[in-house]
Amino acid sequence: MRDTGFPVADAENDFLRVRRRQVLSRLAAWLRREPDDVNIMLPFHEVVEALGMQSERRLGLQTIRLDTIVGSVDRTRDFDRRFRPTSGRVRERWQRLALAQRRGESIPPIEVYRVGELHFIIDGHHRVSVAHALGLSVIDAYVTEVVTRINAAGIRFRGDLIVKDYRRLFLERVPLTGEARAAIVVSDPWDYAQLGENVEAWGFRLMQDEGEFLDRATVARRWYAEEYTPVVTMLKQADMIGSRTETEAYMWVAAERYRLIRTHRWDPDVLTAVRENSRR
């Protein structure tokens, strides 16, 4: 934290410094042709919608790390991802808080939502911005925890919400649990929709074969145990996973199997045919 001995001047310099950094960061992102969402705060409501809200509870006053604050409930335009002001319209209030901080005055705690390990500001955007500018690493906050259907792990940018949203929809159609739930991972969000269709088709054939109705949870459990796990095991043994995730490898070989052989059976001859076709 720079200090000239004149708190008012120092607070003004603090603001000018972070504004300059914000402008340079935006210019650098443009020159690198980075996606538009790289420097945008995550919008809380979009995150919760993608993950599927279940419940919330107040945890009270806690000390949280500033680097876990990644988004906002309603102020995404005034500050960038690192809580640097995006314009001069917040300057007066920002400098007033920076001056109070430099003088050692008491600053009220902020208020946040917690989703997984991420925090989203309800109230206190200027306080967080000033704390970042002054080199602080933690801040006091009143925390409300939000429990969601899908884990928030892996969310960095707004574009990541698409993957989470499709995964949530997939797990509503194919309600896997525990290890099975964690094992299904794809890179392309659309693959979750395609996989959901495949599992439902597999379940329909299973019900036809057995002559009885099976609910979604039963179909999901049996598909994972009787179809997915044996196929992935064979793919590993045949060294056919490659650079894909296990789920992507399963989807690829399942599609190839049916295209080449028009059957849903699995045996070494099927894998041999698929392997030979992939080399052509």
Q: Which amino acid is at 207?
A: M
CA distance 149 to 143: 19
Model pLDDT, residue 266: 59
More confident residue, 181 or 10: 181
* Span 23-41, pLDDT tens digits: 666 666 555 555 454 467 8
Asked whether the whole model's pTM tops 0.85, one would answer no
Distance of CA 18 to the CA centre of its chain: 27
Beta strands in the chain, from DSSP E residues, in sequence order? 42-43, 53-65, 69-72, 110-115, 118-123, 138-148
Is the pLDDT assigned to residue 214 strictly greater than 60? yes
Confidence of residue 166 (pLDDT cuts 50, 70, 90): confident
Of 221, 200, 197, 219, the residue nearest 210 (C-alpha): 219
**Over residues 3-13, mean pLDDT:** 68
Model pLDDT, residue 255: 78
Model pLDDT, residue 38: 46
Is the pLDDT assigned to residue 257 strictly greater than 80? no
Model pLDDT, residue 264: 55
Q: Which amino acid is at 247?
A: T
CA-based end-to-end distance of the chain? 63
Please name each of the domains of the chain with its CATH number.
7-148 (3.90.1530.10), 174-278 (no CATH)
How many CB atoms are located within 10 Å of the residue 170 CB? Answer: 23
The overall average pLDDT reported for the chain is 83
Beta-carbon contacts of residue 248 (< 8 Å; ≥ 6 apart): 186, 187, 191
Confidence of residue 221 (pLDDT cuts 50, 70, 90): very high
Is the pLDDT assigned to residue 22 strictly greater than 70? no
| CB burial readout 110-127, b (16+ within 10 A) else e | bebbbbbebbbbbbbbbb
Question: Which conformational region is residue 246 in: left (phi greater than 0), alpha (psi within -120 to 50 degrees), or beta?
Answer: alpha
* Span 69-97, pLDDT tens digits: 988 998 667 888 788 888 778 888 888 88
Beta-carbon contacts of residue 64 (< 8 Å; ≥ 6 apart): 112, 119, 138, 139, 140, 141, 143
* Span 228-252, pLDDT tens digits: 999 899 888 888 888 889 999 999 8
